[in-house]
Structure 1
Amino acid sequence: MGISVETFFLDPHAQGTLQAQIRQMIAEGILSGRFRQGERLPSTRRLATHLGISRITVSLAYTELQANDYLTSRGRSGHFVSPNAPEPPPAPPTRGTEDAVDWSRALGRHYTGGDTPGRPQDWARFRYPFIYGQADPTLFDHANWRLCALQALGQKDFAALTTDYYDQDDPRLVEFIARHTLPRRGIAARPEEILITLGAQNALWLTAQILLTQRRRAAIEDPCYYGLRDILTQSRCHLTPLAVDRDGLPPEAIPPRTDVIFTTPSHQCPTSATMPLARREALLARARDLGALIVEDDYEFEMSFLTAPSPALKSLDTDGRVIYVGSFSKSIFPGLRLGYLVGPEPFIREARALRSLVLRHPPGHIMRTAAYFLSLGHYDALIGRIRNALRDRRAVMAQAIADHGLTIAGRGAHGGSSFWMQTPRGVDTERLAETLRPRGVLIEPGRPFFHGADRPRDFYRLAYSSIPADRISDGVAEIAGTLQTMTGDTP
């Protein structure tokens, strides 16, 4: 990697000769860590032209730095930072400046300190990664995604690649969602009723910003997706958590004066409970009686490999009160960050306007690549492979859990990619996770999913989407053995 010539400039107030100033600039760059070992410096001619000085001055400075082992010369390739150059000293503790800002007063709102936990970026190096929502490189169709990306870069799609859509979306992607994706959930929608988002998280944020105020009340499931609870907490609305049962959110528990109901009926997050048809109809009736809106997060509906998925709540809605959230981030790969909102045109119009104020629209190249991947059939083939793999892994995990006597607290009726687990004798799963990590095992503690100060600590989620089937049994055995040690039980 080359060091840009624009990095160098002469201080008109500096003391010493030009040659000394150049030596000092380079030495300080190395000692500060800005210039790293092996990086190439600008040629003497380029640096001299850039600084407006004699080339011989730069040459002499380079020669002296080379003599002091700050630089090395490689024939006709130029000058490089020497592998023997001094290492940058440890960074000193950060200290405030004289005109330091009092950020405790300057910040009008705080967005840190929420429930959303951090996840290890190096999860793939662990032998037993029972973590949720990551892509499996052995299942993903790299070749066809690459071809679709190249096609989207072609001259024919130049406008889709470079156009500022302002507040609009790629029409090809919207058409596919309207004609292929939504009908599979029993949903009919016009393009004016669809908005592309940067994943489900962005869709939920847009929805909360539009529908909720400090005077309105939202009902959420407990436990629920922690990212949603963080969003609603920041909206400053009145928040009512409702305990879920084996069938998901109980409609009769929704209190009066509720304005918006957030639910995950197909795969309750995180318990994986599937809401029966009768309860879905009861939920719609309860919302109608309250004059409330429903936000349906239909994540993972594609992962129904045991039986056909239940109809979407949106497909049963005859009042136009259900807003539907979908995402390709779970089914294609999470880094894609593409989702969509489906709702009545007045709502989508406001969501489109709000999105345009924040990020205008998702990147055109990403939308067009996804549109090709979907419309050419690669997506359906990918979903087929993922379903088959998850079916096999689920069977292996269910057997391993039974063999080791672990407790399943919830499992999806139609499939999914995880089990909701509970520890014996109230073992703290955050402590369990810390104990398992050095053994190469990653689990997801359940406490962040719950609402309130006194949250249960004995639940955890075991996902099988990112771990090969042949490692599942050994990984579950590690969990069971660690639990036995922590509870004092013997095998």
Structure 2
Amino acid sequence: MSIAVESFLLNPTNTGTLQRQVQDLVTDGILGGRFRPGDRLPSSRKLATHLGISRITVTLAYTELVANDYLTSRGRSGYFVSDQAPAPVDTLPPPAGPSTVDWSRTLGGRIGTSLTISRPEAWRDYRYPFIYGQPDQRLFDHQSWRRCAMQALGRRDFDALTADAYEADDPELVAQIIRLILPRRGISARPDQVLITLGAQNALWTAAQVLLTQRRTAAMEYPCYPVLRDILTQSRCNTTELTVDNAGLRPETIPPETDVLFTTPSHHCPTSATLPLDRRRALLKRAQDDDFLIVEDDYEFELGFMTRPAPALKSLDTDGRVIYIGSFSKSLFPGLRLGYMVAAAPVIREARSLRGLVLRHPPGHIQRFAAYYLTHGYYDAQVQRTARAFRARREVLDESLARNGLEPAGRNGFGGSSVWMRTPDGVSADDLAARLRARSVLIEPGAAFFRPGDARGQNHYRLGYSSIDSTAIPTGTALIAEELARLQR
């Protein structure tokens, strides 16, 4: 690779000779890892013209660098970084000096800092990864996705991939969501009632920004999705936590001063509880009586392999109070970062304007890839394949938990891809997770789903089965039981 001449810039405050400065520019680039063995340097004439110095100065600097094995000369081809050049130094330069900026005052501390769910970067190297939300490449139809990508990259779709759509979405993807996805949840919508987002998390943030102010109150389930807690904290609204039971949210606990309720009725995060139909109707009645809006995060509804999914709140909504959020993260893969919001047209108009200020629109090529994947029926096949695999894994997991005397803390008769668990009294889920890592078992401690300081966070953990093979589940579960027994003793 040729090194651009613009990579070199003399420092006017440097007191060294020009030849020394040129040498330092090259050696700094090599030791900093920016210039690599085999990279071609600018010609002495070109670099001299760029820096405004004499050519002989550059030539002498290059000659000295060749003598010190930083560079090598290849006849008329020019100068290249030598294969014998010193390896890059993995250190940062010293700070310029103490900063005089008061960052606590300047930044304002608006971004949430609650606990997050972490996993090792090399989690795939663990033999028993009971982690949530990560894709299993054995279940994904790579060939069909590649076929759709190649189709979308063709000349026919050039404008959809390359044009600045301003605030608009890909009409093909919106049409497929309206025709194929929403009817499964009993939802009908027009194009002006749908907004494409960068996943469900982006949709939740957008809803919070559009619907909440410092004078409004948001209610959320407890325990809850950690990112939602941070989003609401960032919005500076008033918040209320509503403790869930084995059937999810209790409508009678919603305060009358609530302006917006955030809920996961089909598959509560993290307990996996499903809100019964009578509670759904009672919830909508409360929303109408007390005049508040509902943001429904309907994640994992596609993975209802144990029972038929309950109707979405949005499908039962008669006056447009529900803002519905869906995502392709669990049905396809989280790296796609593609979701959608369905709401009354005035809400979508405001959300679209906000999105236009922040990111214009999601990348056109990603939207068109997904549109073709839906159009050709590959999405349906992918969902069915995933649901079958998850059902088989869940059956093995349930049987293994029972055999080892481990009982789930949450009642989940719907499906999904995880089970909510509780440790015995006096046993920390963090300690359990640390011990299990040493035995190549990964679990997710539950503290992130609770507010800091809540002791219940230390007694819960989540077992995901989206990425672990059925054959590994029995042994992994037995190891969990062994470590729990040791911690109790």
Q: Tell me the TM-score normalised to structure 1 length.
A: 0.92
Q: Which residue of 2 aligns with 1:102?
A: 102
Q: Which residue of 2 aligns with 1:426?
A: 426
Deviations 1:214-240 (A, max 9, x none): 222222111111111111122122211
Name the counterpart of 2:275.
275
Paired residues for 1:103-182 under 5 Å: 103-182=103-182
- Between stretches 331-340 and 31-40, larger displacement belongs to 31-40
Who is 1:342 aligned against?
Answer: 342
User: Structure 1: which 5+ residue stretches go unaligned?
Assistant: none
Equivalent residue runs for 1:439-450 within 5 Å: 439-450=439-450
Deviation per CA, 1:425-449, whole angstroms, max 9, x where unpaired? 2311122222222322221111111
Letter of the 2:486 counterpart: T
The verdict on how the C-alpha distance between 1:32 and 1:174 changes in structure 2, with shifts beyond 3 A counting, is: closer
Three-state SS of the structure 1 residue aligned to 2:22 is helix
2:487 alignment counterpart: 486
The equivalent residue for 1:461 is: 462
Looking at structure 2, the residues matched to 94 and 248 of structure 1 have their Cα atoms a distance apart, in angstroms, of 51
Q: Which residue of 2 aligns with 1:241?
A: 241
1:69 maps to 69
Distance 1:239 1:405, change over 3 A: same
Superposition deviation, residue 371 in structure 1: 0.5
Shift in Å at residue 304 of structure 1? 0.9
**Which residue is equivalent to 2:300?**
300
Asked if the contact 1:71–1:85 (Cα under 8 Å) also holds between the matched residues in 2, the reply is: no
2:461 partner SS: strand
1:244–1:16 Cα change, 3 Å = closer
CA distance in 2, matches of 1:315, 1:142: 33
Q: Which residue of structure 1 lines up, in the alignment, with residue 196 of structure 2?
A: 196
Q: CA deviation at 1:369?
A: 0.9
Moved more, 274-283 or 117-126: 117-126
User: How far 1:454 sits from its partner (Å)?
Assistant: 2.2
Q: What does residue 401 of structure 2 align with? A: 401
Contact kept, 8 Å, 1:324 with 1:342, in 2: the verdict is yes
Q: What residue in structure 2 maps to residue 378 of structure 1?
A: 378
- Counterpart secondary structure, 1:219: strand
Match of 1:470 in 2: 471
Alpha-carbon displacement from aligned partner over 1:181-212 (angstroms, at most 9, x marks no partner): 10010001111111111110111111111111
Per-residue CA deviations over 1:253-280 (Å, capped at 9, x if unaligned) read: 1122111111111111111111111111
Shift of 1:379: 0.8
Deviations 1:3-35 (A, max 9, x none): 333212345675666544432321233344443
SS at match of 2:307: coil
- CA shift at 1:87, angstroms? 4.9
**What code does the residue aligned with 2:397 have?**
M
Given that 1:407 and 1:423 are in contact with CA atoms closer than 8 Å, whether structure 2 keeps it comes out as no
In the alignment, which residue of structure 1 is the partner of 2:330? Answer: 330
Structure 2 SS opposite 1:158: helix
Q: Deviations over 1:52-84 (max 9, x none)?
A: 667665454333212212234568685224445
Residue segments in structure 2 that go unaligned for 5+ positions in a row? none
Decide whether aligned partners of structure 1 residues 322 and 443 sit closer, same or farther in structure 2, where only a CA change above 3 A counts. same
Seen in structure 2, the aligned counterparts of structure 1 residues 90 and 297 have a Cα distance that, compared at 3 Å, is: closer
| Cα distance in 2, alignment partners of residues 214 and 54 from structure 1 | 63
In structure 2, C-alpha distance between the alignment counterparts of 1:218 and 1:484, rounded to whole Å: 41
2:22 maps to 22
The residue matched to 1:349 in structure 2 has which SS?
helix
Distance in 2 between the 1:34 and 1:162 partners?
31
Q: Which piece of structure 1 moves more, 67-76 or 242-251?
A: 67-76
Q: Please give the residue correspondences for 1:342-361 in structure 2 after superposition, counting only pairs within 5 Å.
A: 342-361=342-361
Whether the aligned pair in 2 keeps the contact of 1:406 and 1:480 (CA below 8 Å) is: yes
Cα offset, 1:142, TM superposition: 1.6
Secondary structure at 1:409 match in 2: coil
Of residues 105-114 and 122-131 in structure 1, the stretch that sits farther from structure 2 once superposed is 105-114
Matched letter for residue 381 of structure 2: A
Q: Which amino acid aligns with 2:71?
A: L
Contact in 2 for aligned 1:35/1:81 (Cα 8 Å): no
* Structure 1 residues 77 and 481: CA distance shift in structure 2, 3 A: farther
Deviation at 1:355, TM superposition (A): 1.1
Question: Can you list the C-alpha shifts for 1:89-144, whole angstroms capped at 9, x where unaligned?
Answer: 743664634x6312122123431413433443322222221111111111112222
What percent of counterpart residues are identical? Answer: 61
- The equivalent of 1:91 in structure 2 is 92
Contact map agreement 2:168 2:361 (CA 8 A) in 1? yes
Partner of 2:217: 217
How far apart are the structure 2 equivalents of 1:14 and 1:213? 52
Cα distance change on mapping 1:85 and 1:134 into 2, 3 Å: same
Q: Which residue of 2 aligns with 1:437?
A: 437
Match of 2:252 in 1: 252
SS at match of 1:426: coil
Q: What SS does the aligned partner of 1:62 have?
A: helix
2:168 pairs with 1:186: no
Amino acid at match of 1:233: T
Work out whether residues 116 and 230 of structure 1, in 8 Å CA contact, stay in contact via their aligned partners in 2: no
C-alpha contact 1:207 1:351 (8 A) present in aligned 2: yes
Give, as a single letter, the amino acid of the residue that structure 1 aligns with 2:462.
R
Q: Which moved more, 1:118-127 or 1:422-431?
A: 118-127
Root-mean-square deviation over aligned CA pairs: 2.3
- Secondary structure at the counterpart of residue 385 of structure 1: helix
SS in 2 for 1:167: coil
SS at match of 1:110: coil
Aligned residue identity for 2:229: R
CA distance in 2, matches of 1:74, 1:441: 54
Of stretches 272-281 and 50-59 in structure 1, the one that deviates more from structure 2 is: 50-59
Matched AA of 2:161:
L
